[in-house]
Chains A and B, each alone.
With several copies, the nearest count.
Chain A
Amino acid sequence: MEDQHIPASLFDCPVVESRPVGAYRLISFVAREVAALARPGQFLMVRAAGQSLDPLLPRPIGVHELESDLVKILIEPVGRGTISLAGLRVGDRLSVLGPLGNGFDLTGEGPALVVGGGIGAAPLAFLVRALAQRGREVRCLLGFKTRGQAVAAELFRNQKVDVYTEDASMGEMGLVSEPLTGILAEMQAGGPANAISTAGAVGDLRAAEIFACGPDAMLAAISGIASDHGANAQVSMAAHMACGVGACQGCVIRTVDGYRRACSEGPVFAAGEIAW
């Protein structure tokens, strides 16, 4: 994805909202510069401000939404770092480095199919809104394990979202990748280019384009479906990070051209670039 050289800085940000959203926690903090600069799919290196060495390092967290001076993040507490972040309360302070990474490329014109899995849904609210603002047709599919996670779909307020849960506790039952083939075909059919039966050529701006974030297995499945349909797919990849700025070589993703750093050359990659 193209790098647009948005300068990142370190900020000390007060938390102004902290509330549970099912199994996740929504945290809003004041960060005017980040809110002014961040693009969908970019991330921040975030930790609770202060001297405590537990956790030691910040964690990469996607920008969930922006609202004037506020930046919102959605946290799934799974380990040392995210449990600490989920424990933040109003009045606590965050150390925030960002915005980082390339973000999604929104310059296409075809219909957009946005697909999220689990906490991978977090950065997609901002994305869906930005795509809609650019006048693109957007469909959004979110898959979760359980209802506790799936209530996060309510954060996509003004957007129609199809929810899937593995245990059928909310929305449709099943993996989000399952209905994808059908929906993609449907969207390609509705697209003005109307060249779907021959599988819209890659690069055809009117063809449907997929934007996805979630577990590797989901992204791999989506990538396969996209390539079967000749649809572009942009995937946001996860990796453990230390520096977040391309220095440590720690966050590499295996691509067809060798290792690429998720922090500085990603986290968004063309699905075709990834060596699944």
Chain B
Amino acid sequence: MKASLHTSLGPLNLGHPIINASGTFDVIEADRILEADLFSDFPFAAYVPKTVTLKPRTGNEPPRLYETAAGLLNSIGLANRGIENFIVEDLPRLAELPVPIIASIAGENTSDYGSCAEMLAGRDEVAAIELNVSCPNVELDGRALGCDPERTARAVSLARAATSKLLIVKLTPNVTDIVAVAQAAAAAGADCISVINTVHGMALDPWTLKPVLGHTSGGLSGPAVKPVALRAVYLVSRALDLPVIGMGGVTTAQDVLEFLAAGASAVAIGTASFRDPVLAARLAGELRDLMEIRGIYSIGQLSGMA
């Protein structure tokens, strides 16, 4: 018997549960630079472009990256060409992808979320909108809007009012109570929760002993944060009756299996794509094998098994 990898996020059907994490995979650039034909042979079940904002952002001062033990610190600072350019230049090209597009948006204040959602509301190429309320690299103190349940709820309400598209809210782990923020998002109309964005952290240059990152601190991703992410998925999926997209340190098919068992309906790959640029293409098959040797034949059976 062959395990089915089909899964869904509310009304959004996915051929398998593995998608990319926003900001870590650029299909247009990758298709240009790599030999692989990514538009016809796309490894993920949905495509999440880099977060866009109302106005273009140049991003934070470099250096923006530093490897730590089993982790990566970044302080990109949501560098992007703005939602206009995204809609005009990228969306038409992205529409050629054989999978749904989940646009990711962020704002400098709650009203930006409403404005951005409104601009995407009429775009048929966009299957769902992810509200990134959790980037730690915008404010210097690493305090994202999503640290506050009320501001989160306000941002979600404004987006909800602007569109009937599937609304995913991506939360930060840098809070005392992630479940409270998730509940606030749900009450305000979120259809799905993504956890986790990066964990705030910092590194010093080994020689100068000054902060390595131009932005002083940054967000930690990769295998180092997997235990934090798994716990967030477990808690949020138990507390809420919404589908959860799990991410944070997923590097192997075994990790995907664990995030699904913890309660996720889909799993996103970020940092691991940097480590192994062809990882995504292998994962779905390996996941099926791991499910079958355990006698698990559907994602539904697996999801929340823990």
Direct contact, A vs B (beta carbon within 8 Å): yes
* Chain A residues within 8 Å of B, Cβ to Cβ: 5, 7-10, 47, 53-58, 79-81, 95, 97, 100, 239-254, 258-259, 264
Chain A residues near B71 (CB-CB < 8 A): 56
Q: Are A259 and B74 in contact (CB under 8 A)?
A: no
B276 at the interface (CB under 8 A from A): yes
Q: Are B59 and A247 in contact (CB under 8 A)?
A: no
Q: Are A252 and B59 in contact (CB under 8 A)?
A: yes
B17 at the interface (CB under 8 A from A): no
Instruction: List 9 extra interface pairs beyond A56-B67, A57-B72, CB under 8 A.
Output: A9-B36, A56-B222, A57-B275, A95-B276, A246-B32, A247-B25, A247-B29, A250-B64, A251-B64
B34 at the interface (CB under 8 A from A): yes
B277 at the interface (CB under 8 A from A): yes
CB distance from A168 to the nearest CB of B (A): 21
- Give Cα distance in the complex from A191 to B192, angstroms: 67
- Give Cα distance in the complex from A58 to B271, angstroms: 12
- Give Cα distance in the complex from A100 to B32, angstroms: 11
- Give Cα distance in the complex from A257 to B271, angstroms: 29
B285 at the interface (CB under 8 A from A): no
Q: Are A239 and B274 in contact (CB under 8 A)?
A: no
* Chain B residues within 8 Å of A, Cβ to Cβ: 23-26, 29-30, 32-36, 50, 58-59, 61-67, 69-72, 74, 76, 79, 206, 222-223, 251, 271, 273-278
Q: Are B275 and A240 in contact (CB under 8 A)?
A: no
Provide the main secondary structure of the chain B interface: loop
- Pick from B24, B30, B63, B72: contact of A56, CB under 8 Å: B72
Q: Are B65 and A245 in contact (CB under 8 A)?
A: no
Q: Are A10 and B32 in contact (CB under 8 A)?
A: no
Task: Name which of A53, A100, A249 has the most chain B CB atoms within 10 A of its CB.
Answer: A249
Chain A residues near B271 (CB-CB < 8 A): 56-57, 242
Task: Name which of A5, A240, A242, A252 has the most chain B CB atoms within 10 A of its CB.
Answer: A242
Q: Are B30 and A247 in contact (CB under 8 A)?
A: yes
Q: Are A58 and B34 in contact (CB under 8 A)?
A: no
Known: A56-B67, A249-B59, A264-B29. A243 touches B35 (CB 8 A): no
CB distance from B269 to the nearest CB of A (A): 13
**Chain A residue, CB-CB nearest to B64:** A250
- Give Cα distance in the complex from A253 to B275, angstroms: 22
Known: A53-B223, A81-B67, A95-B276. A245 touches B59 (CB 8 A): no
Q: Are B24 and A243 in contact (CB under 8 A)?
A: yes
Q: Are A259 and B34 in contact (CB under 8 A)?
A: no
